[in-house]
Structure 1
Amino acid sequence: MAVVALPLLLLLLLGSSPTALVAVAADGEHEAAQFTVLDMTLLKPHDACSGHRVTPSQNGSWVPLYHPLGPCSPSFKGGAARAKPPSLADLLRQDQLRARHIHRMASGDFRVSKGSRKSPVWLEESQIHNKQRMGIDVKYGSQFSRQQVMHGPAAATDDDGGGGDGSSGESSPGVTQTVVLDTASDVPWINCVPCALAECPYYDPSRSTTYAAFPCNSTACKQLGRYANGCVNNQCQYRVNSTSGPTSSGTYGSDVLTLDSHNAITGFKFGCNNNDNNGDDSSGNNNGIMALGRGAQSLMAQASSTYGNAFSYCIPPRDSEKGFFRIGVPGGAPYMFVTTPMLTDRRSPSLYRAALVGISVAGERLNVPPEAFAASAVLDSRTALTRLPLTAYGALRAAFRDKMAAYRRAPATEEMDTCYNFTGVRFVKLPKVALVFDGNNAVVELDKYGILVGGGEDDHGCLAFTANSNDAAPAILGNVQQKTIEVLHDVADRNIGFRRLAC
């Protein structure tokens, strides 16, 4: 009798209907479909690179993408030599600077910030900025060793420079440099140094037979616009400003850019940075910026005739894994993207924008009025956290807290005000979060690594979103929310695409 009693009692509680059992099972499956489980130990630092979780297709030109401070970086030092990572609070303070910079750009404010570059804020940005970035390795120039016959930089062959055939002898394919992808920048640049070493690890323009500085009256120099910085010895000078002051300045020239063993761009235009106090870290973890903005000087503008005016990238979920960067539009059935129109604001034509119209949490669309998303969202590769209009963030926060009520709350960390103490908890049940864009069912479900940040020594984790001060400023879609999603920027067809689980 005892064996029969429990199922009988269950049937009575369910109204003695077998259909009710099916309903309970269906409800359980529905709930499971609206939640995901995150292993908090995977958020902790690792000293070994596990490579690609998903191997990118060989279609088109692509290169590995990695965190410059992570174990997949060639300059990584693990074990006892590994530098102590910056705290979450430090990273968030830096991210506030980046978001402020993007919001200023979005409003059309390109003025240089006043104040000393030696201020604590400037030093803080220089020291920890790398953690927000994703880098790729490319090769600049055609380099010769000191033992080989050198004839100096190639003379300009026409009005715009562009390099010549160089000297006799056998050249190497260039010097490998780690550059950071920046979708909000227009002018590519790298740190340039005179180098006396036989095997120079840095780019030295005087040792490349294909380098040429642009003359001051060249078309390329005139096209710099607000990035122009005068003329020195009839060589065009550029200047790119950052959040806290001048980031990069020096001579504007061209050389061969080698993306991979099969793809190179001759006469690639870039800035040769000679500013020792630039605002971006130049400690060896990265050596410059690969500008991907919509301006005339960016990589995309220069490569469009060969690869088409499009690129995509996939940010890996963790520092110990690799993603990829690709030039051109991926083809074939496996590359199906959810797309939304690419928008342009005349105040900031270089930024990539799209219409974010809604958010869902655990399958339920938030009740946010359309006017809360009045400004189109900016997609940025270097901002970490997604910034939402104030009203939209308030609704997201309330829904997320409701679904996370089983976990202990923790104090706010800087601007992240929805944090939890996961001490003793390894597997965390997270509600799924999806962003809804304008378009035909343009719903983008975020990966579990794009919902929560933390997992450090204190075992705290926070919702990886924060709020703008009002509903007027545009949302910024940060790189945390872009993790594992191939984000396509198709300028030619004016579309933004999202493909989940790509890396």
Structure 2
Amino acid sequence: MVSSSASSGPLALVLLLSISSSIAHGAGAGAGGDEERRQRFTVVQTSHLQPQSICSGLKVIPSGNRTWVPLHRPYSPCSPSSSPSPPPSLLEILQWDQFRTASVRRRAMSDDDDVVEYPDTPHVEVQQIDFGLQAPFGYGSVAAAGGSRRLMADGDPTSQTMAIDTTIDVPWIQCRPCPIPQCYPQRDALFDPTRSSTAAPVPCGSRACRALGNYGNGCSRRSLRRSSNNSSRSDCNYRVAYSDGRATSGTYMTDTLTISPGITFPNFRFGCSHSVRGRFSGQTSGTMSLGGGRQSLRSQTASAYGDAFSYCVPQPSASGFLSLGGAIGSSGSGSGFASTPLVATANPTFYVVRLQGIDVAGRRLNVPPAVFSAGTLMDSSAVVTQLPPTAYRALRRAFRNAMRRYRRVPAGGKQILDTCYDFEGLGNVTVPAVSLVFSGGAVVRLEPMAVMMEGCLAFVPTPADSDLGFIGNVQQQTHEVLYDVGARNVGFRRGAC
């Protein structure tokens, strides 16, 4: 377990760039000119900049023997559970993105490896309601049924649609009892741990309970155990607070996790939520957390999958995937991946890399590598990439110069983005190639829809050069991003979905 001149249609956390595009390349004076221009610019047909209403499905199947599940964006024609509510505006999403990343930045720079903030309700116009990627997972006991094996919950096979987040460590789902309004209404059936033969609360005082650190929320006599003989034992409680003011709390449990048919993980630890604060989308039953901490999906499956996972953020009208395991025959540096080392930080929850430069229209910006010394956080939930102000100004200057044939317009309802254009009446537009250059030699060329959102340059500055930056999901789309924690690197493979 993403949108140029497109409407604010199928926007999702990880994507806000709705160019589900077919792309034509510009022509030069000759063969050499053609090739040079393809390296420097891409001509995008404006007829393909609008959101598509038909799902084009998964373009490729993840290679090797890795376990994978499909990944979808809310408000997308590929989403298995489309929302009846209209999508949020681009301004709303960018406002939330600014608030959230500011809080994540504070957590990332803390020297407490388990710090979790419990902020008051944020003073922003919209709270996040799961704009992000979604993937199916099964929770519950596995039992024989009619000669087949299936998950049992409420007597029926069950699959829970989960949001994906790489900056949180504790996976959680809503569980019975979960009354409204303490919980939020969801499309999937609530998971009932009393119907699972393998579900059990984590005992208070156990190693797993102590390992929660600041995710711990004390202990409770209220028990989900079916046997009254165990009613006197205390159960471990958890709490996860999000940077936009939302929170979830409940019983910390173990049960069998099914990721794909035949692939199960007994004694998987997760939060069984009985109460939430703030707005959550009923499209998802909870969050499958992929952070670097001890409780995350990645950590709990590390022995089976080599301490690695990857995902591919799809375009709005396509499907992506979340995969457990590394690239076959490589540690992120082979099989078509360009890799960069992970940077060691005081907080292991976060995946930090080092940007070293940016190429625009085939030319490296004149920005010293030291400008990026604060590091850059890989984040599945951040919307747009945030650069040090010195680097952002250089990028904006080069981009405006390359786009000078087009009429610039005020940002209007997209005030957070400051470089916008009017493409009305044009058959196609020529967008300069933009590549992110990372330490270790990885050069990641972005798709046109990862460069512009609704006619605007899809980058923003951090508050200061000394602040941690972010690689947003808009820029990650169509790349398979491989988090090979065992090898201490992050790899990028273009055109994976």
TM tier, shorter chain? 0.7 to 0.9
Provide closer, same or farther for how the CA distance between residues 183 and 33 of structure 1 changes in structure 2, counting only shifts above 3 A: same
Provide closer, same or farther for how the CA distance between residues 491 and 214 of structure 1 changes in structure 2, counting only shifts above 3 A: same
2:461 is the counterpart of 1:467: yes
2:324 is the counterpart of 1:330: no
Residues of 1 paired with 2:159 and 2:153: CA distance? 18
2:294 aligns with 296
Aligned residues with identical type, % of pairs: 44
Provide closer, same or farther for how the CA distance between residues 29 and 170 of structure 1 changes in structure 2, counting only shifts above 3 A: closer
Residues of 1 paired with 2:373 and 2:29: CA distance? 41
Residues of 1 paired with 2:370 and 2:188: CA distance? 55
1:416 aligns with 417
Amino acid corresponding to residue 33 of structure 1 in structure 2: Q
Residues 331-340 or 267-276, more deviating: 331-340
1:431 aligns with 432
Amino acid corresponding to residue 310 of structure 2 in structure 1: S
1:422-457 alpha-carbon deviations (Å, 9 max, x no partner): 212242211010011111x31111122211112xxx
The CA deviation at 1:41 is 4.1
The CA deviation at 1:23 is 7.6
Q: Decide whether the 8 Å contact of 1:92 with 1:414 is kept in 2.
A: no
The CA deviation at 1:43 is 4.2
2:495 is the counterpart of 1:489: no
Q: Decide whether the 8 Å contact of 1:139 with 1:173 is kept in 2.
A: no
Residues of 2 paired with 1:243 and 1:200: CA distance? 25
Residues of 2 paired with 1:444 and 1:377: CA distance? 14
Residues of 1 paired with 2:163 and 2:171: CA distance? 10
Q: Decide whether the 8 Å contact of 1:315 with 1:486 is kept in 2.
A: yes
| Aligned Cα root-mean-square deviation (Å) | 2.7
Residues of 2 paired with 1:446 and 1:74: CA distance? 28
Q: Secondary structure at the match of 1:130?
A: coil
1:219-261 alpha-carbon deviations (Å, 9 max, x no partner): 1101100111001111101111111335111110011110001
Residues 25-34 or 367-376, more deviating: 25-34
The CA deviation at 1:467 is 0.3
Residues of 2 paired with 1:477 and 1:183: CA distance? 12
1:458 aligns with none
1:366 aligns with 365
1:446 aligns with 446
The CA deviation at 1:354 is 0.8
1:31 aligns with 37
The CA deviation at 1:46 is 3.2
Provide closer, same or farther for how the CA distance between residues 74 and 369 of structure 1 changes in structure 2, counting only shifts above 3 A: same
1:305 aligns with 303
Provide closer, same or farther for how the CA distance between residues 467 and 184 of structure 1 changes in structure 2, counting only shifts above 3 A: same
1:204 aligns with 192
Mapping of 1:338-417 within 5 angstroms? 338-346=338-346, 348-412=347-411, 413-417=414-418
Q: TM-score, normalised by structure 1?
A: 0.81
Provide closer, same or farther for how the CA distance between residues 105 and 200 of structure 1 changes in structure 2, counting only shifts above 3 A: closer
1:73 aligns with 79
Q: Decide whether the 8 Å contact of 2:155 with 2:195 is kept in 1.
A: no
Residues of 2 paired with 1:175 and 1:194: CA distance? 17
Q: Decide whether the 8 Å contact of 2:237 with 2:249 is kept in 1.
A: yes
Q: Secondary structure at the match of 2:314?
A: coil
User: Which has the larger share of helix?
Assistant: 1
Which one has a bigger Cα radius of gyration? Answer: 1
Q: Decide whether the 8 Å contact of 2:238 with 2:249 is kept in 1.
A: yes
1:219 aligns with 207
Provide closer, same or farther for how the CA distance between residues 39 and 499 of structure 1 changes in structure 2, counting only shifts above 3 A: same
2:94 aligns with 92
The CA deviation at 1:47 is 3.1
Q: How many residues align?
A: 437
Q: Secondary structure at the match of 1:59?
A: coil
Provide closer, same or farther for how the CA distance between residues 415 and 60 of structure 1 changes in structure 2, counting only shifts above 3 A: same
1:104 to 91, 101, 106: 106
Q: Decide whether the 8 Å contact of 2:136 with 2:160 is kept in 1.
A: yes
1:312-341 alpha-carbon deviations (Å, 9 max, x no partner): 1111122x2101111011215983211111
Provide closer, same or farther for how the CA distance between residues 138 and 280 of structure 1 changes in structure 2, counting only shifts above 3 A: farther
Q: Which runs of 5+ in 2 are unaligned?
A: 1-27, 144-151, 180-186, 222-233
Q: Which runs of 5+ in 1 are unaligned?
A: 1-21, 145-168, 455-460
2:58 is the counterpart of 1:57: no
Amino acid corresponding to residue 219 of structure 2 in structure 1: C
Residues of 2 paired with 1:107 and 1:195: CA distance? 35
The CA deviation at 1:391 is 0.2
Amino acid corresponding to residue 291 of structure 1 in structure 2: S
Q: Secondary structure at the match of 1:481?
A: helix
Residues of 2 paired with 1:280 and 1:303: CA distance? 30
Q: Secondary structure at the match of 1:181?
A: strand
Provide closer, same or farther for how the CA distance between residues 267 and 298 of structure 1 changes in structure 2, counting only shifts above 3 A: same
Amino acid corresponding to residue 313 of structure 2 in structure 1: I
Residues of 1 paired with 2:274 and 2:302: CA distance? 28
1:180 to 151, 160, 163: 163
Q: Decide whether the 8 Å contact of 1:194 with 1:206 is kept in 2.
A: no
1:182-216 alpha-carbon deviations (Å, 9 max, x no partner): 111111111113489xx982211122121100110
1:45 aligns with 51
Residues of 1 paired with 2:130 and 2:80: CA distance? 14
Residues of 1 paired with 2:127 and 2:246: CA distance? 13
2:331 is the counterpart of 1:321: no
